[in-house]
Amino acid sequence: MVSLRDSLKGRLSSKELEVLPRAFDIIGNIAIFSEFPKELEKKEKIIGNVLIKLNKNIRTVAKKTKVHGGKYRTKKIKIIAGEDKKETLHKENGAAVKLDVEKCYFSPRLGSERLRIARLVKRGEDILVMFSGVGIYPLVIAKNSDAKEVYGIELNPIAHRYAAENVRLNKTRNVFLIKGDVKKEAAKLKKKFDRIIMPLPKSAGDFLDCALAAAKKNAVIHLYDFEHEDEIENALEKVKNKVRKFKLLNVVKCGQYAPGAYRVCVDFKLQ
Ligand SMILES: C[S@@+](CC[C@H](N)C(=O)[O-])C[C@H]1O[C@@H](n2cnc3c(N)ncnc32)[C@H](O)[C@@H]1O
């Protein structure tokens, strides 16, 4: 396939070609450049249009203007070419999720990590996904395992609304979603879980007490964390600080989010 760089030769100077981003995310049919250099601002529409011509699945091209932030972990984007829309349908691991890419958190880069978790699930498990966003973890688990029930809790009302729609879209019968703060809603469920997934790397450690209260005796917990490559063991310290007896199952580096900085998942079993 012809690369974006090759297709832009003659339309961008060699200096501009040098700073052309090499990577972008694709969510549904929206392509998003995470880092778009200021020097290319005047050429952004040309770049976006060429990308749409090259890739039939892309209808909209956008650039991130503000990184993930705030309690809902959302980003700001600017559309630079194609259809003026921020809602799309993304397919992954046998599940489909509709979402607004600006109003909800979603990362297509975590697809293989979500499948890794789904494949660990044993027949009949009850699962709690804290911070469930547009429902992608619960749905990938429901579609790729024999879990009994999968519960998701999400604070962002817009993400929760999409998640509810996504459950209907995927015709799953064992996914149940709750809108609200994990700290309040997990206890209200009055249910104990075999497996708890905590995909809020920025502060999941603060919710460990809550996970312990909702866990069955030998439950497995997956705690996500952000760590520098030289300090991966800090993720384990967060578990040790709160959990008295556990068996460490795995520490998985599941993606780089900045130079030298990783998203890490600590898998552990309560003892
Ligand atoms: C990093 S995102 C992960 C979303 C989803 N699991 C995914 O992988 O796409 C974290 C999510 O947690 C939600 N969130 C943050 N604090 C929360 C809380 N106290 N209770 C429930 N959800 C929360 C945010 O709104 C956001 O959607």
Q: How far is the CA of 89 from the centre of ligand 1 (A)?
A: 19
- The neighbour count for residue 41, using CB atoms within 10 Å, is 11
Report residue 139 CA to chain centroid gap: 13
Q: Is the CB of 199 under 6 A from ligand 1?
A: yes
Residue 2 has pLDDT above 90, yes or no: no
What pLDDT, in 10s, does the model give residues 160-198?
999 999 999 999 999 999 999 999 999 999 999 999 999
Q: Is residue 93 part of a domain?
A: no
Residue 33 has pLDDT above 70, yes or no: yes
Residue 247 has pLDDT above 80, yes or no: yes
Same domain flag for 74 and 123: no
Same domain flag for 55 and 183: no
- Residue-number span of the structural domain to which 18 is assigned: 4-85
Nearest residue by C-alpha to atom 5 in ligand 1: 133
The predicted model gives 83-96 an average pLDDT of 98
Q: Is residue 98 part of a domain?
A: no
Residue 269 has pLDDT above 90, yes or no: yes
Return the closest-CA partner of residue 265 out of 55, 105, 117. 117
Residue 83 has pLDDT above 80, yes or no: yes
Q: Is the CB of 202 under 6 A from ligand 1?
A: no
Same domain flag for 237 and 155: yes
Q: Is the CB of 105 under 6 A from ligand 1?
A: yes
CATH value at residue 15: 3.30.300.110
Q: Is residue 132 part of a domain?
A: yes
| Structural tokens at position 116 | 């890794």
Same domain flag for 193 and 117: yes
Q: Is 16 exposed, middle or buried (0-12, 13-18, 19+ CB in 10 A)?
A: middle
Q: How far is the CA of 128 from the centre of ligand 1 (A)?
A: 13
Same domain flag for 21 and 124: no
Residue percentage of the chain with pLDDT more than 70: 100
Q: Is residue 246 part of a domain?
A: yes
Q: How far is the CA of 196 from the centre of ligand 1 (A)?
A: 14
